[in-house]
């Protein structure tokens, strides 16, 4: 096999997987801070997509400021969801499972009623391609990759070095211990939930020009995010990044041999393989 073909396949795989890592990071952040799995997480991705659609296609704003506004707007939507719903479900995994499934349907049906069922294309702000030998990547995909890597780096820096980020990690590791250091658990959880949603919104905004937006658009990325988290280990940020890179590799190389429908199965085969060897995922805690 020519090496260029392999590089091209990996590049294609990574470009999308890195965006799904953003979705996964939000999901796993919320899980570690609130102890719940938000099945409506993909709907925040969808909201990010629609916010971008409205900014660019309806109001004619430039893509970059629109994306930033969309991230902020979805973060605010996260604040509202946490205040109204998820704060009462802290640590109640089963209740949160049922309620978030309900929220998923409310948001998806709400989007159908409000925005219609048809796909809405979002014009791309970037045109042209970058060529290195026989390997080609569109400028649009390249920007998506840069933005995703940038956001992952910002999130890492925030959690690692900022006072609030450290408090989020403290709440995730020991809520009582954190409260005894003066951390306001409720406020920090709300912030964590908002950051998690904003990451999903960012992913939706980044892929909006690539795929167009539609009410059920959140379903696929959230499935990919679950694959990434299960492979990487629930609650682990480095695990999510590694899980994403593995998924990108498997899907990229898989696309050389299989149809795109079959490629979607590969991710699940990877989950089964990892869980057989390491039930907690690659980076999962005991």
Partner 1 sequence: MLEVTDLRVRYGNVVAVAGVSLSVADGEIVAVIGPNGAGKTSTLRAISGLVRPSAGRISFNGTDITGWKAHRIVAMGLSHAPEGRRLFPQMTVLENLKMGAYLRGNGAALERTLQEVVARFPRLAERRRQRAGTLSGGEQQMLAIGRALMAEPRMLILDEPSFGLAPMVVTEIGRVIQAINRARKVAVLLVEQNARMALSISARTYVMETGTIVLEGPSASLRESPHVKAAYLGG
Contact yes or no for 89/96 (Cβ under 8 A): yes
Closest CB 84 distance from partner 1, rounded Å = 21
Closest CB 239 distance from partner 1, rounded Å = 13
Which is nearer to partner 1, 169 or 280 (by Cβ)? 169
Which is nearer to partner 1, 4 or 174 (by Cβ)? 174
Which is nearer to partner 1, 139 or 185 (by Cβ)? 185
Tokens for 48? 């990010």
Which is nearer to partner 1, 22 or 170 (by Cβ)? 170
DSSP string, 48-85: HHHHHHIIIIIS---HHHHHHHHHHHHHHHHHHHHHHT
d(CA 94, CA 99): 9
Angle of helix 163-173 versus helix 3-34 axis, rounded to 10: 70
Which is nearer to partner 1, 23 or 183 (by Cβ)? 183
Which is nearer to partner 1, 6 or 185 (by Cβ)? 185
Residues that bind partner 1 (CB under 8 A): 163, 166-167, 169-170, 173-174, 176-185
Q: How many other C-beta atoms are found inside a 10 Å radius of the C-beta of residue 6?
A: 14
Q: What are phi and psi for residue 26, nearest 5 degrees?
A: -65, -45
Contact yes or no for 78/44 (Cβ under 8 A): yes
Closest CB 227 distance from partner 1, rounded Å = 24
d(CA 271, CA 229): 10
Look-up of token digits 């041999």? 257
Closest CA relative to residue 285, chosen from 242, 233, 246, 228: 233
Which is nearer to partner 1, 123 or 157 (by Cβ)? 157
Closest CB 159 distance from partner 1, rounded Å = 11
Closest CB 176 distance from partner 1, rounded Å = 6
Closest CB 247 distance from partner 1, rounded Å = 25
Question: What ranges in the chain are assigned the alpha helix state H?
Answer: 3-34, 41-53, 63-84, 93-115, 139-161, 163-173, 175-179, 185-211, 219-232, 237-257, 260-277
d(CA 62, CA 64): 6
Closest CB 95 distance from partner 1, rounded Å = 19
């Amino acid at each position: 096999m020519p090496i260029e073909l392999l590089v091209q396949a990996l590049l294609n795989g990574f470009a999308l997987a890195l965006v799904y890592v953003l979705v996964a990071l939000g999901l796993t952040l919320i899980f570690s801070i609130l102890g719940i799995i938000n099945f409506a997480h993909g709907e925040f991705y969808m909201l990010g997509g629609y916010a971008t659609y409205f900014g660019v296609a309806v109001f004619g704003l430039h893509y970059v400021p629109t994306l930033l506004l969309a991230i902020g707007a979805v973060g605010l939507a996260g604040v509202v969801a946490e205040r109204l719903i998820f704060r009462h479900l802290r640590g109640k995994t089963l209740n949160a499972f049922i309620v978030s499934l309900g929220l998923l349907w409310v948001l998806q049906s709400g989007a159908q009623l409000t925005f219609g069922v048809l796909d809405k294309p979002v014009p791309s702000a970037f045109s042209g391609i970058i060529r290195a030998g026989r390997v080609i990547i569109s400028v649009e995909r390249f920007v998506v990759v840069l933005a995703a890597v940038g956001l992952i780096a910002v999130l890492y820096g925030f959690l690692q070095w900022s006072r609030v980020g450290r408090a989020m990690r403290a709440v995730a590791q020991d809520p009582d211990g954190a409260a005894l250091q003066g951390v306001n658990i409720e406020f920090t959880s709300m912030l964590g939930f908002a950051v998690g949603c904003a990451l999903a919104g960012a992913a939706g905004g980044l892929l909006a020009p690539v795929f167009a937006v539609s009410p059920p658009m959140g379903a696929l990325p959230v499935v990919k995010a679950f694959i990434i988290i299960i492979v990487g280990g629930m609650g682990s940020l480095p695990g999510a990044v590694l899980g994403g890179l593995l998924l990108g590799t498997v899907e990229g190389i898989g696309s050389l041999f299989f149809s795109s429908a079959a490629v979607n199965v590969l991710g699940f085969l990877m989950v089964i393989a990892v869980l057989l060897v390491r039930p907690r995922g690659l980076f999962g805690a005991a």
